[in-house]
A = this chain, B = another copy of it.
Amino acid sequence: MYIEKIHTPADLRKLEVSELKIVADEVRDAVLNRVSRHGGHVGPNLGFTEATVALHYVFDTPTDKLVFDVSHQTYPHKILTGRAHGFLDDADTRAISGYSSPIESPEYDYFEIGHTSTAISLATGLQKGRDVLGGTENIVAIVGDGSLSGGEAFEGLNTAAALGTNIIIVVNDNEMSIAENHGGLYANLRLLRETYGQAELNFFKTFGFDYYYLENGHNLASLVDIFRRVKDTPRPTVVHIHTEKGHGYAPAVEKQEAWHYRSPFDRETGKSTGPRDKSEYMPSLLGDFLREEMKRDPKLVVVASAVPMGLGFTADRRREAGAQYIDVGIAEEEAVALASGMAKRGARPVYFTYATFLQRTYDQIAQDLCVNGNPAVINVLGASIFGMNDFTHICFFDIAMLSHIPNLVYLAPTTYEELVAMQTWAIRQDKHSVAIRVPEGEVYHTSEPVDTDYSALNTFRVGHRGSRVALIAAGNFYQKGERVRQLLAGQGIDATLINPRYLTGVDTELLDELKKDHAVVATLEDGTLDGGFGERIARHYGPSAMRVLDFGVKKQLYDRYDVDELLRENHLTDEQIAEDVLATLAAIG
């Protein structure tokens, strides 16, 4: 086996070009070994296997620097840079992350990257840094065609070209984002592919890049040749290579969208091996609801930004939705501005994306949407400690990011029925910009009646009226509040339980009323404490005698955490919360 002997790319560079195919096949096999057992990004890694081998073969890594966009295609790179054990040895899999990681490899990985469209921008920093410090290494950014739809990639291209010095941008064009591409730009990429890069009209050349095209991005001799031609170029250069997503593994090629990321599967058949999860999933239920609502309301338009499956918008369902569905590509800024404009024009836009990606559009939410007060709806997905847990995909900063924005109404439903009621209200009203925190984790239902009108802003709902202690438990954590209430009841404390519903304001009347017969208020939120909902309650009670305990997640970086551990470390188990409340009660006598 070759790859077991490749400890660094220098070992790779001792081989003949003719041997590289064997290396690539072994790399692909190692990738499949890992993803079939543990899940992970399949298509992106298989499609960039040969190119990665050729890059490390031609460039003097780590002196020359590779920066991978999204970095979900870095498995081959990891295998060639001393981390093959994470792909060959089952025991080591969890030690190696799914993204580029300077912690794992300070020499070969320069950035933690998980969001799209950042590689060119980050690489311009290496480029400018090198130029100022008098370095001579090659800076290579690798970016997928899908990622080019993000504004940051454009800004990076614009700067890279203006700097005018060595930077090589490898555009890995597999004709796909996670789903199909969206945007006028993609007609130009198609034209370039169809003309083998010869078309006069060339997006990259408009910036001033030197431009090279390679039709077969899996041919190692061609890859080596083209990279050798551009190595040490003194000019900003684009190498546009045409690849096949999922290359070399038939199931991944046949169904490219489904095989972008996969849970564990049988390598022979491609079938999932994990237990099929038949439990309800809130975003799926919401997607079903919206699809029905679209049929009832022709003004309703669902807006996606390249993660259609977040609400279960399969290719069939996208087609069925027709003009009532629009995907803007990886362009969250555009998505929010578009939604604002649509709402202004009288349509009823409903945007959705994951909380971590919504971070891209803080300013557009504040300015393009909320300053204008246009009635668009944003569904915030995965916003929870139960969501994605990679370093770069943490989804629980949303309350801190959104709740201080003037004119935004951010709602936190606690059950499916409440989600539907809030969604329905948000879609049909025309006064407020509304975001809705779609619950993650277990799906809860209620048989109790749910309010249908949320226009009386910042009115909390009392679920149970007790005394001495009040639990204000938001969204996802309402059921935790109920469990804590029961624990306290077991200790003779009849605690009040409140569903705040609104994350963007406090019910000052209710809070003041609680002062009469409550001594302790505990806030529970499934998110970061700093800037969170609980602090607003603490501020309200600051001048009073009320004791306030805010429960949430401490501010720090998190990476591939265990949820139960996270809960314990943040004093967020039901028992810990109850204990802390009891201790506070005891302390005040």
Contacts and interface: CB of A to CB of B under 8 A. Distances in A.
Contacts of A267: none
A126 interface: yes
A471 to B, nearest CB: 14
Interface of A: 102, 110-115, 118, 121-133, 135, 149-162, 182-188, 200-203, 205-209, 236, 298-299, 301, 323-324, 326, 328-329, 331, 333-334, 337-347, 349, 359-360, 362-364, 366-368, 371-372, 391-392, 397, 400-401, 403-407, 528-532, 534-536, 538-539, 541-545, 547-550, 555-557, 584, 588
6 contacts: A129-B349, A133-B345, A158-B184, A400-B400, A403-B530, A535-B535
Contacts of A543: 547-549, 584
Contact of A129 (B132, B344, B406): B344
Contacts of A155: 149-151, 154, 328-329, 331, 333-334
A557 B208 contact: no
Contacts of A110: 341, 344
Contacts of A112: 367, 371-372
Nearest to A121: B337
B111 A404 contact: no
B550 A539 contact: yes
A158 B331 contact: yes
A446 to B, nearest CB: 30
A182 B124 CA distance: 14
B206 A342 contact: no
B126 A341 contact: yes
A542 B548 contact: yes
Given A133-B299, A334-B155, A340-B111, A364 B118 contact: yes
B338 A159 contact: yes
A539 B534 contact: yes
A549 B557 contact: no
A547 B547 contact: no
A158 B129 CA distance: 31
A207 B183 CA distance: 8
Contacts of A401: 362, 401, 404
Contacts of A397: 366, 404-405
B535 A333 contact: no
Most chain B CB within a 10 A radius of its CB, from A112, A128, A340: A128
Contacts of A346: 129, 133
A128 B347 contact: yes
Given A206-B185, A359-B366, A538-B539, A133 B347 contact: yes
Contact of A324 (B132, B182, B184): B132
A200 B206 CA distance: 10
Given A151-B154, A202-B201, A406-B555, A341 B538 contact: no
B547 A544 contact: yes
Nearest to A391: B371
Most chain B CB within a 10 A radius of its CB, from A114, A122, A545: A122
A122 B185 contact: no
Contacts of A149: 155, 158
A283 B187 CA distance: 46
B403 A531 contact: yes
Nearest to A529: B539
Contacts of A368: 111, 118, 121-122
A208 B149 CA distance: 15
B392 A371 contact: yes
A299 to B, nearest CB: 7
A268 to B, nearest CB: 38
